[in-house]
């Protein structure tokens, strides 16, 4: 077997996940990679390729503005080019790393761009569906412009459990910041935004 090359960034993510069920990394992608994704997202949004997000599984999807107000575009890894192809390359490396070092058994993934227009939010929820526990890790990388300010809102609030009492953590959607968390355990929400809020979001999954 090949010598396992340690990746300090991925090791930190794994340590964080084991210790606290979430990890925040501000340099998962390079600035160039983030800007390519941001540009591509904005182009595709302008071209009207996004659709209103829905809740529930495909067979049973509903648009519910009182729950979530973002617009999304699912990405097709097999037809990806440019920034998106680079994105999937890096994610595949990360996935292989997790499988080799933690035996996580990740063999599927799904990712979409998301844009929350001004005034929208995503109410508190869990990223798994009833009777479907394939989603293991949730990953969100923010593609906002460089000067995102706290007064724009749009925090990702995750609810941790500390010895039976709830501890909310607010995470600002700073450009390039990646948040990774355990899909099956951590409830979270996106607070109302006062400016369009951009991200690439998805899940690493097992086959079921």
Whether 130 contacts 93, CB under 8 Å: no
Nearest approach in angstroms of CB 136 to ligand OGA is 14
140 interacts with, out of ligand OGA, Mn ion, none, CB within 5 to 8 A per kind: ligand OGA
Task: Determine, following the binding rule CB under 5 A, whether residue 70 of this chain makes contact with Mn ion.
Answer: no
41 interacts with, out of Mn ion, ligand OGA, none, CB within 5 to 8 A per kind: none
Whether 152 contacts 195, CB under 8 Å: yes
Task: Determine, following the binding rule CB under 5 A, whether residue 182 of this chain makes contact with Mn ion.
Answer: no
- The β-bridge relationship of strands 108-116 and 71-74 is antiparallel
State which of residues 98, 137, 141, 190 lies at the interface with ligand OGA (CB under 6 A). 190
State which of residues 95, 177, 188, 205 lies at the interface with ligand OGA (CB under 6 A). 188
Nearest approach in angstroms of CB 6 to ligand OGA is 29
Task: Determine, following the binding rule CB under 6 A, whether residue 37 of this chain makes contact with ligand OGA.
Answer: no
Task: Determine, following the binding rule CB under 6 A, whether residue 175 of this chain makes contact with ligand OGA.
Answer: no
Q: Say how far residue 63 (Cα) sits from the centre of its chain.
A: 20
Between residue 97 and residue 116, which ones bind ligand OGA under the rule CB under 6 A?
114
- Exposure string for 70-80, b = 16+ CB within 10 A, e = fewer: bbbbebeeeeb
Report d(CA 59, CA 130) in Å as an integer.
13
Q: Which residues neighbour 172 within 8 Å (Cβ) at sequence distance 6 or greater?
A: 148, 150, 154, 155
Residues in touch with Mn ion (CB under 5 A): 127
Residues that bind ligand OGA (CB under 6 A): 114, 122, 127, 140, 156, 188, 190, 199, 201
């Amino acid at each position: 077997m090949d010598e396992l090359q340690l990746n300090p960034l991925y090791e930190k993510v794994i340590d964080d996940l084991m210790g606290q069920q979430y990890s925040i990394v501000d340099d998962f992608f390079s600035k160039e990679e983030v800007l390519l994704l941001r540009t591509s997202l904005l182009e595709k949004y302008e071209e009207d390729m996004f659709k209103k997000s829905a809740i529930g599984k495909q067979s049973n999807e509903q648009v519910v503005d009182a729950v979530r107000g973002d617009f999304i575009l699912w990405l097709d890894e097999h037809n990806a080019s440019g920034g998106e192809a680079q994105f999937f390359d890096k994610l595949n490396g990360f996935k292989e790393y997790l499988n080799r070092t933690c035996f996580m058994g990740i063999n599927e993934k799904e990712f979409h761009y998301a844009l929350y227009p001004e005034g929208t939010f995503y109410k508190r929820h869990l990223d798994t569906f009833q009777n479907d526990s394939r989603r293991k890790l949730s990953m969100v990388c923010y593609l906002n412009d460089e000067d995102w300010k706290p007064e724009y809102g749009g925090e990702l609030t995750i609810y941790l459990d500390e010895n039976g009492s709830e501890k909310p953590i607010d995470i600002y959607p700073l450009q390039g910041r990646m948040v990774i968390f355990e899909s099956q355990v951590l409830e979270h929400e996106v607070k109302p935004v006062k400016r369009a809020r951009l991200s690439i979001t998805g899940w690493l999954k097992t086959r079921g």
